[in-house]
Homo-oligomer: A and B are copies of this chain.
C-alpha cells in the first residue's frame, strides 16, 4: 500500500448564488481594498489515501468527492494531487519488504 495525498476543491457552479462570496465583496470597502471582483467561496478538503496504486487512490477520492463532499446540483469539484513525500517513503518500505 502506498499513501497518496490529495486536495479536493469544491466551488459553487457558475450562476449559483454565493452568499459568502457576496459577503467578502461587501467587506472589501472597509479594508480599503479595490479592484477585487467575482469572489467565489468554496471548500478545500485535503486527505490521505492508502491504496495499491495511484489509479485506485484517485478512484477513491473521486467517489468521496462526488458522494460526500459536494452537492452535484450546485457545486463542482476538482481533484488535485499533492506532494507525495509519504508515498515515496511507503514505496521504499514496500520494496524492502518484497
A residues with CB within 8 A of B: 1, 5, 7, 9-11, 21, 24, 27-28, 31, 33, 35-51, 60, 63-64, 67-69
Let me know if B31 and A40 touch, CB within 8 A.
no
Decide: B44 and A37 in contact? CB cutoff 8 A: no
Determine the chain B residues whose CB is within 8 A of the CB of A41 once the complex forms: 43-45
Residue of B nearest to A67 (CB): B31
Q: Is the interface of A mostly helix, strand, loop or mixed?
A: strand
Q: Given A11-B44, A35-B1, check contact A27 B68 (CB 8 Å).
A: yes
12 A-B pairs in the complex with CB atoms less than 8 angstroms apart: A9-B9, A11-B46, A21-B45, A31-B64, A33-B63, A35-B49, A35-B50, A38-B46, A38-B47, A40-B45, A41-B45, A42-B45
